Amino acid sequence: MKKLLKLGSVLFLSSTFAFATIQETNAPKNENSQEKKVINRTWIGQKSLSPLAKELINQLKSDKTISYDLPFFKLYKKVLKEINAKKFDAKLNSDINKLYFAYMNYLIKGGIDWKAFQKDLQKLIKKYDYKTGWETFPPPYSAKAILKNAKLSGTFGNIFEKVEPTRFKYQQLKKYLIKYIQIRNNGGWKTPGKIPTLRVGNINPKIPIIRKRLKIVGDLGNCVDNMDSTLYDSCTAKAIKRFRIRHGLKPSTIIDRATRIELNRPVSYYIRKMRLNLDRIKWSNRKEAKVRIELNIPAFRLYLYDGKDLVTTMRVVTGKPNHPTPVFSDVMTTIVINPYWRIPESIVKKEMIKHLIKDPHYYERQGKFLYKGWGPNSQRIDPATVDWAQYKDNKKHIPYHFLQNPGFKNALGKIKFLFPNKYSVYIHDTPSKRLFFRSVRAFSHGCMRIQKPRELLEALAIYNKNLNVPKIIKQLGTSENKQIPLQKRIPIDITYFTAFVDDYGNLHFRKDIYGYDRLQLKHYYKNYKATTKTQKTKKKKSLKKHTKPDKKAEVKKRAPKKATPKKDEYEVIEIGY
């Protein structure tokens, strides 16, 4: 009986399925295909946006960093127009899908073409024969995976906030970007143009323009009286000093050439710079240890943090433009007291041979001696027995090396902080203390010289009980070489930020000393510049050129002037020491 009932059930279900299949087959093709389209859509419901689409659009509307200088801005406006027109069709679904991936990749990855940048960097390394690099850390999120999870859960949740970095004061810099976008939307600021060098007490008709510029960015503070005065007063001078400090210039009240260049930059320059650095943070090391060291190359400064607290900070001398300090992350493992300096062959070839040819004993007087081999029992060689001319201007290997003994004249100073890496760079002391008083401090061969090595030693001793500071300081008075391993290894991030927020909440800008801003902006979003108003104007003018052939000669004369980019926009500027 049970078998008969089971068989009957199977027959009933089979007939039902067959009937449903027939119904579907006999249904009008247009209705069926339309229904299928609606079912397969992610972003469109029957006659409205899907819940996911509503979340996405609301997120886009609330994101104040979105403006016309982004490549997907036109698509965003197009989607809003289609929504307002209530065109809930397959095309809108496709447009929202494209918009989602464009926006989510903007949040996660930003617009730097890292492959193109690395290619350009390798060309420079080959051209100038130096060893450097920029290591990136791919963001741990995927737009495709996020959408897949959102479909399963039915919501994006807090993913839009989650994908953004939390390190290197990302959110604070983002707030300043929003502020500067609002400034641009309100008309920006008027630039003073050509002005002479001004000191407190001078009178100039451009002072009101400068004062208003300082007020817009917040440097003027409460000094809002006499806004139209042409007198360069003490209140405005105080604002200029703050402005100069934020731009990496000496804390002075003089409006000199370097100050004029910064005052004459348009707001769009700073917006681009902030966007670029926000995107650098997205590809920086996201792992944040409680106790850590951060070093910003363009700021020429080192910071030691314990959680959110700044333990100590100091000035740094970094690599020269033709010997750039690499951008990477590592772990500090060892402190060396009274270090030896094994001089790299590249320095011997590029800087020492010219002196050795004239005077073989030139470097012995500096405590730099020549050895054969690298071991502790290496044989010392008389430099006068070597034909140095054979190594000049060629790639021939020098089978010797120079070693500078520990001492007060040693180029590494008295303390060296090691974090073994493929670039062979490290942090160290220096006998050349005068360089720390310069604004632009790019003078080394890639290593990082610090202003206060003893202060860093004392700070590290807080976390490493094996560092007996009084005993170490006593040893510094000798020439005894000693290596001390750290019990608590300290993570270190060597960064390159030309726009950043300091620990007091102030926005800073720095010069692009290695030209990395320029290289990365060259490929930034690929069509980044094509979305600006300036480019649109140029496009219209180029159309006129084709529609009026009778004025071809006249256009040719004017074209070079229009096409010339602003040379000072991302160049290294000598500010005078």
- Report residue 392's pLDDT band, with 50, 70 and 90 as the boundaries: confident
According to the model, what pLDDT value does residue 1 have? 43
The answer on pLDDT for 100 being more than 90 is yes
**Which residue, among 337, 299, 500, 539, has the nearest Cα to 418 in the 3D structure?**
337
Q: Which residues of 29-67 are buried (b: 16+ CB within 10 A; e: fewer)?
A: eeeeeeeeebeebebbeeeebbebbebbbebbeebebbb
pLDDT at position 120 over 80:
yes
pLDDT at 542 over 70: no
Report how far residue 215's alpha carbon sits from residue 222's, in angstroms, rounded to the nearest whole number.
Answer: 9
- Say how many CA atoms lie within 13 Å of 559 toward its Cβ: 13
* Count of Cβ atoms closer than 10 Å to residue 285 Cβ: 23
Q: Give the residue-averaged pLDDT of 317-339.
A: 97
Q: What's the whole-number mean pLDDT along residues 35-53?
A: 75
Q: How does the average pLDDT of the chain come out, rounded?
A: 86
Q: Which position has the higher pLDDT, 348 or 34?
A: 348
- Confidence class of residue 130 from pLDDT cuts 50, 70 and 90? confident
- Give the C-alpha separation, 402 to 226, whole Å: 64
| Per-residue pLDDT band at 416 (split at 50, 70, 90) | very high
Q: Give the lowest-confidence range in 63-77, 490-504, 552-566.
A: 552-566
Q: What's the burial of 543, exposed, middle or buried (CB within 10 Å: 0-12/13-18/19+)?
A: exposed
Nearest to 374 by CA among 338, 399, 410: 399
Do residues 430 and 411 make contact, with C-beta atoms less than 8 angstroms apart? yes
Both tokens of residue 66? 């979105």
Q: Is the pLDDT of residue 570 over 70?
A: no
**Radius of gyration of the chain, Cα coordinates, nearest whole angstrom:** 32
DSSP states of 501-519 = E-TTS-EEE---TTSHHHH
Calculate mean pLDDT across residues 302-313.
Answer: 97
Kindly give the pairing relationship between strand 415-418 and strand 379-381. unpaired
Which tens digits make up the pLDDT trace of 254-278?
999 999 999 999 999 999 999 999 9
Instruction: Report pLDDT digits (tens) over 153-207.
Output: 999 999 999 999 999 999 999 999 999 999 999 999 999 999 999 999 999 999 9
* Type of residue numbered 546: H
Query: What's the rounded mean pLDDT across residues 111-122?
Result: 96
Side chain identity at residue 174, one-letter code: K
Whether 409 and 430 have beta carbons less than 8 Å apart is answered as: no
Q: Which two tokens stand for residue 264?
A: 């004459």
* Confidence tier at 514 by pLDDT (50, 70, 90): very high
Q: Which amino acid appears at position 429 of this protein?
A: D
> How far is Cα 43 from Cα 301, in angstroms, rounded to an integer?
48
Is residue 562 pLDDT above 50, yes or no?
A: no
Give the per-residue pLDDT at 346: 86
Please tell me which residue, 552 or 431, carries the higher pLDDT value: 431
Pairing between β-strand 309-319 and β-strand 442-444 as defined by DSSP bridges: parallel
Pairing of strands 507-509, 499-501: antiparallel
Lowest mean pLDDT among 34-38, 354-358, 441-445: 34-38
CA distance 104 to 60: 10
pLDDT digits (tens, 9 = 90+) for 45-78: 888 999 999 999 999 999 999 999 999 999 999 9
What is the model's pLDDT at position 196? 96
pLDDT over 50 at 15, yes or no: no
Q: How confident is the model at residue 41 (pLDDT cuts 50, 70, 90)?
A: confident
Which string of b and e fits 257-281 if b means at least 16 CB within 10 Å?
ebbbbbbbbebbbbbbbbbbbbbbb
pLDDT at residue 561 in the model:
39
Among the listed ranges 92-101, 237-246, 415-424, 554-563, which one has the minimum average pLDDT value?
A: 554-563
pTM: 0.83
**Per-residue pLDDT for 286 more than 70?**
yes
Q: What is the pLDDT of residue 40?
A: 53
534 vs 297 pLDDT, higher one: 297
Q: How far apart are CA 189 and CA 263, in angstroms?
A: 10
Confidence (pLDDT) at 24: 34
Section 81-106 average pLDDT: 95
Give me the pLDDT at residue 34, please: 36
Supply the CATH classification number for the domain 189-265: 1.10.101.10
pLDDT at 307: 97
pLDDT of 571 higher than 60: no
pLDDT of residue 366: 87
C-beta of residue 168 within 8 angstroms of C-beta of residue 281:
yes
78 or 223: which leads in pLDDT: 78
Rounded Cα–Cα distance for residues 495 and 311 (Å): 19
Is the model's pLDDT at 26 over the cut of 70?
no
Distance CA 433, CA 437 (A): 8
How many residues can be counted in the chain? Answer: 577
Selected residue with higher pLDDT from 427 and 396: 427
Contacts 24+ apart (CB under 8 A), 98-104: 98/72, 99/56, 99/60, 99/72, 99/75, 100/43, 100/56, 100/143, 100/147, 101/143, 101/144, 102/71, 102/72, 102/75, 103/56, 103/59, 103/60, 103/72, 103/76, 104/143, 104/146, 104/147, 104/163
2: pLDDT strictly greater than 80: no
Is pLDDT at 563 greater than 70 in this prediction? Answer: no
Q: In this predicted model, which residue has the larger pLDDT, 439 or 547? A: 439
Strands (E), 270-414: 291-296, 301-306, 309-319, 328-337, 341-343, 368-372, 379-381, 401-404
Are 441 and 435 in contact by the 8 Å Cβ rule? The answer is yes
Give the pLDDT mean for 333-355: 93
Q: How confident is the model at residue 240 (pLDDT cuts 50, 70, 90)?
A: very high
Listed as own residue / partner, the contacts of 371-376 with beta carbons closer than 8 Å and 24 or more positions apart are 371/400, 371/401, 371/402, 371/403, 372/399, 372/400, 374/342, 374/401
